[in-house]
Chains A and B, each alone.
Chain A
Amino acid sequence: MTVETKLPFTQDYVRSFSEERGEPSWLLNLRLQALAKAEELPLPKPDKTKIDNWNFTQFRNHVVESKPLSSLEELPEAVKALIDLNEENKNLYVQRDHTAAYISLSEDLKAKGVIFTDIFTAVSEHSELVAKYFMKDGVKVDEHRLTALHAALFNGGVFVYVPKNVEVNVPLQAVYIHENPEAALFNHVIVVADDNSKVTYVENYISTNETANAVVNIIAEVFANTNARVFFGAVDNLAKGVTTYVNRRGIAGRDGRIEWALGLMNDGDTVSENITRLIGDGSFGDTKTVVVGRGEQTQNFTTSVIHYGKHTEGYILKHGVMKDSATSIFNGIGKIEHGASKSNAEQESRVLMLSDKARGDANPILLIDEDDVTAGHAASVGRVDPTQLYYLMSRGIPKAEAERLIIHGFLAPVVSQIPIESVKKQLIEVIERKVK
């Protein structure tokens, strides 16, 4: 397969797209410069996965119109299952393709100055605040072709801002529905927890269609400023024909904490990058990732925690199950920069393979530029232990059920961390469906 390298969208298109939305000039210029860079920059090079032939750039529908929802009852059942419909004070955003279809934030949080809105509303109402965080210290526009293309074309997403000293003790949830089989989703998410604040944000990506060839390009930038704490949960569940690039980046300031729980359940080819940068002294990053691969899909998961500050702690835990002919590369990188003394980098990757044709590679990498640190890693790739199966079966549990228990047990350390019950339940159901 040859892949067209020429981009399907012109400067004129991007200009009119931005102007139609009344975007401020800083953003228009950023988009135009990004598009020019996207023409020149190479694709990212995820370690050990060749993506030259993947389609990240050829698509037709950069904007599709969907209707806003007058009631959540209109949502498809699969989406409703993600939401607690009975909760009165919902903090919920629902996006249908590119349309902000539903938004709700409790009066209490509004009164405290919390912002939770779609990215375009945020750009128009809080332009300076968005400009301060948008692709500056988190993900840079010119990292590679996909970040540049993302900046030029982003067409959805949310902006979350929690002011100083505000603790949000209920989760904020965003649900992104991929409805139109040809819609290209370029979602940009920014979560900012300002000094001494606290927030939990959970997002779901879900396809409600069968698509042959769609492109999704997601960037999430997460900021835990001084002594702030962010919990970021995600369940990605996009359909087989979707090629996904998803980049989730965290920046922790002094004594800031970022914790991730990611359920990466896409059925299509996926490159997922999750980097946490521990800038401030005493900052903390924890990444828990769970993956199920099936069918013919190829996936690459890179999880990295980079230590800049002293006394920083980074933890990476990844568990993946591979079946059928699925191929996955799990790169775990703990990096301690010079000067980040007294830091600790730990990582663990475990891959369980359920078929002879499945492939899983776990690559633990420690890059350490400082003497006075501690670090450790563990990695394993294996099959269901026949002794464990025998033990469970010897108590009367049929083989299929015993395997199911072992797989669930294997994924439990991550699944149990998801903070919203309905999302956790849904993740368990997705896993169930995928491993069956």
Chain B
Amino acid sequence: MAVLTIKDLHVSVEGKEILKGVNLEVKGGEIHAIMGPNGTGKSTLSSAIMGHPKYEVTQGSITLDGQDVLEMEVDERARAGLFLAMQYPSEISGITNADFLRAAINARLGEGNEISLMKFIRKLDEKMAFLEMNPDMAHRYLNEGFSGGEKKRNEILQLMMLEPKIAILDEIDSGLDIDALKIVSKGVNEMRGSDFGCLIITHYQRLLNYITPDYVHVMMQGRIVKSGGPELAQRLEAEGYDWIKKELGIEDEAVEQEA
């Protein structure tokens, strides 16, 4: 069973400290949700875990099954079993979705163990049908000209094709209508199992109606300030964040200007 362990994580962007000591453990079989208002460091956490070059870890540790994630390049982190569904996936012209996915799968399997074309196509067809995606999208250039909803669905397609040990979903629900949200949730629920841990970052409780988390954390000022079960998300939906701020004596929850 995979374990992602984050200890006392401090992260800076362009010299400004955004995360100020995050502690979190995500195990296979668990779904965690991190909630919080804009600008409290949620997306920074996801980017730091994946290794985005703009984010500098100044203190603390991230390990996956005891291996030091911070020592790994971005691609090594992915091959070790991490996956980040991005809030703003890149568009890359000239590379088809299918070619990209095959390259990604083969990078994991390593030379000599490549997936057969037949097996790949079968799996791709099956997952795309599950996510109610138009089969044409396999042959379109990677995310190019995709609508916001199509991009998010494509992130989940990659999740299902790559089968990581631990996935981080960064605001996968933003900009989705209810139908698209249901499909995206269906994809994540399909992945649920003892081999799969998930960290969902969102500021809408709505998503958690479809994916029930085991743990809910609230982030403010670059730290996790409160943790609980699914009932915490419901209380946030009903009452907002003010009660937490009051309880903890926080006046301004933000640490950053979100782009």
In the assembled complex, which residues on chain A have CB atoms less than 8 Å from the CB atom of B104?
392, 395-397
In the assembled complex, which residues on chain A have CB atoms less than 8 Å from the CB atom of B108?
396
A395 and chain B: residue at smallest CB distance? B104
Q: Judging by beta carbons under 8 Å apart, are A396 and B94 in contact? A: no
- As a 0/1 sequence over residues 392 to 419 of chain A, the CB contacts with chain B under 8 angstroms (1 = contact) are 1111111101100110111111000000
Q: Judging by beta carbons under 8 Å apart, are A391 and B79 in contact? A: no
Q: Judging by beta carbons under 8 Å apart, are A386 and B53 in contact? A: yes
- As a 0/1 sequence over residues 367 to 384 of chain A, the CB contacts with chain B under 8 angstroms (1 = contact) are 000000000000000000
Tell me, in angstroms, the Cα distance from A342 to B145 when the chains sit together. 30
Tell me, in angstroms, the Cα distance from A64 to B113 when the chains sit together. 51
Q: Judging by beta carbons under 8 Å apart, are A393 and B75 in contact? A: yes
In the assembled complex, which residues on chain A have CB atoms less than 8 Å from the CB atom of B162?
395-396
Q: Measured between C-beta atoms, what is the minimum distance from A390 to chain B in Å? A: 6
Return the contact of B90 from the options A387, A408, A413 (Cβ within 8 A). A387
Return the contact of A390 from the options B74, B83, B94 (Cβ within 8 A). B74
In this assembly, does A388 line the interface, its C-beta being within 8 Å of a C-beta of chain B? yes
In the assembled complex, which residues on chain B have CB atoms less than 8 Å from the CB atom of A394?
50-51, 74-75, 77-78, 83-84, 86
In this assembly, does B93 line the interface, its C-beta being within 8 Å of a C-beta of chain A? yes
Q: Judging by beta carbons under 8 Å apart, are B94 and A409 in contact? A: yes
B91 and chain A: residue at smallest CB distance? A388
In this assembly, does B229 line the interface, its C-beta being within 8 Å of a C-beta of chain A? no
In the assembled complex, which residues on chain A have CB atoms less than 8 Å from the CB atom of B137?
none
Q: Judging by beta carbons under 8 Å apart, are B92 and A409 in contact? A: yes
In this assembly, does A108 line the interface, its C-beta being within 8 Å of a C-beta of chain B? no
In the assembled complex, which residues on chain A have CB atoms less than 8 Å from the CB atom of B92?
388, 391-392, 405-406, 409
In the assembled complex, which residues on chain A have CB atoms less than 8 Å from the CB atom of B99?
405
Tell me, in angstroms, the Cα distance from A140 to B219 when the chains sit together. 74
Q: Judging by beta carbons under 8 Å apart, are B94 and A399 in contact? A: no
Return the contact of B78 from the options A393, A408, A412 (Cβ within 8 A). A393
Tell me, in angstroms, the Cα distance from A409 to B94 when the chains sit together. 3
Number of interface residues of A (CB under 8 A): 24
Q: Judging by beta carbons under 8 Å apart, are B53 and A408 in contact? A: no
Q: Measured between C-beta atoms, what is the minimum distance from A373 to chain B in Å? A: 28
Q: Judging by beta carbons under 8 Å apart, are A401 and B107 in contact? A: yes
- As a 0/1 sequence over residues 193 to 210 of chain A, the CB contacts with chain B under 8 angstroms (1 = contact) are 000000000000000000
Tell me, in angstroms, the Cα distance from A388 to B94 when the chains sit together. 13
Tell me, in angstroms, the Cα distance from A396 to B73 when the chains sit together. 10
Tell me, in angstroms, the Cα distance from A397 to B83 when the chains sit together. 12
In this assembly, does B202 line the interface, its C-beta being within 8 Å of a C-beta of chain A? no
Q: Judging by beta carbons under 8 Å apart, are A390 and B93 in contact? A: no
In the assembled complex, which residues on chain A have CB atoms less than 8 Å from the CB atom of B95?
405-406, 408-409, 412
- As a 0/1 sequence over residues 238 to 281 of chain A, the CB contacts with chain B under 8 angstroms (1 = contact) are 00000000000000000000000000000000000000000000
Tell me, in angstroms, the Cα distance from A402 to B90 when the chains sit together. 13
Pick the most buried of A386, A394, A397, A402: most chain B CB atoms within 10 A of its CB: A394
A407 and chain B: residue at smallest CB distance? B94
In this assembly, does B89 line the interface, its C-beta being within 8 Å of a C-beta of chain A? yes
In this assembly, does B43 line the interface, its C-beta being within 8 Å of a C-beta of chain A? no
In the assembled complex, which residues on chain B have CB atoms less than 8 Å from the CB atom of A406?
92, 95
Binding site secondary structure of chain A: helix
Q: Judging by beta carbons under 8 Å apart, are B103 and A405 in contact? A: yes
Q: Judging by beta carbons under 8 Å apart, are B50 and A410 in contact? A: no
What class of interface size applies to chain B in its complex with A?
A: 20 to 34
In the assembled complex, which residues on chain B have CB atoms less than 8 Å from the CB atom of A393?
73-75, 78
Q: Judging by beta carbons under 8 Å apart, are A398 and B93 in contact? A: no
In this assembly, does B120 line the interface, its C-beta being within 8 Å of a C-beta of chain A? no
A400 and chain B: residue at smallest CB distance? B75
Q: Judging by beta carbons under 8 Å apart, are B158 and A395 in contact? A: yes
- As a 0/1 sequence over residues 46 to 68 of chain B, the CB contacts with chain A under 8 angstroms (1 = contact) are 00001111000000000000000
Q: Measured between C-beta atoms, what is the minimum distance from A199 to chain B in Å? A: 29
Tell me, in angstroms, the Cα distance from A119 to B78 when the chains sit together. 58
In this assembly, does B210 line the interface, its C-beta being within 8 Å of a C-beta of chain A? no
B108 and chain A: residue at smallest CB distance? A396
Tell me, in angstroms, the Cα distance from A413 to B93 when the chains sit together. 9
Tell me, in angstroms, the Cα distance from A402 to B76 when the chains sit together. 13
In the assembled complex, which residues on chain A have CB atoms less than 8 Å from the CB atom of B204?
none
A396 and chain B: residue at smallest CB distance? B78
In the assembled complex, which residues on chain A have CB atoms less than 8 Å from the CB atom of B79?
396
Pick the most buried of B84, B103, B141: most chain A CB atoms within 10 A of its CB: B103
Q: Measured between C-beta atoms, what is the minimum distance from B11 to chain A in Å? A: 16
In the assembled complex, which residues on chain A have CB atoms less than 8 Å from the CB atom of B89?
391
Tell me, in angstroms, the Cα distance from A338 to B97 when the chains sit together. 46
In this assembly, does A385 line the interface, its C-beta being within 8 Å of a C-beta of chain B? yes
In the assembled complex, which residues on chain B have CB atoms less than 8 Å from the CB atom of A411?
94
In this assembly, does B241 line the interface, its C-beta being within 8 Å of a C-beta of chain A? no
- As a 0/1 sequence over residues 95 to 111 of chain B, the CB contacts with chain A under 8 angstroms (1 = contact) are 10001100110011000
Q: Judging by beta carbons under 8 Å apart, are B90 and A398 in contact? A: no
B81 and chain A: residue at smallest CB distance? A396
CB-CB contacts below 8 Å: B115-164 with A: 141-142, 158, 162
In the assembled complex, which residues on chain B have CB atoms less than 8 Å from the CB atom of A401?
103, 107
6 A-B pairs within 8 Å (CB atoms) are namely: A390-B53, A390-B74, A391-B86, A394-B74, A401-B103, A412-B95
The 9 A-B residue pairs with the shortest CB-CB distance, nearest first, are: A409-B94, A412-B94, A396-B78, A395-B104, A391-B90, A393-B74, A409-B95, A393-B75, A396-B107
List 12 other contacts, CB 8 Å, given A402-B75, A405-B103, A409-B94: A391-B89, A392-B100, A394-B75, A395-B100, A396-B79, A396-B107, A396-B162, A397-B75, A398-B107, A399-B73, A401-B103, A409-B95
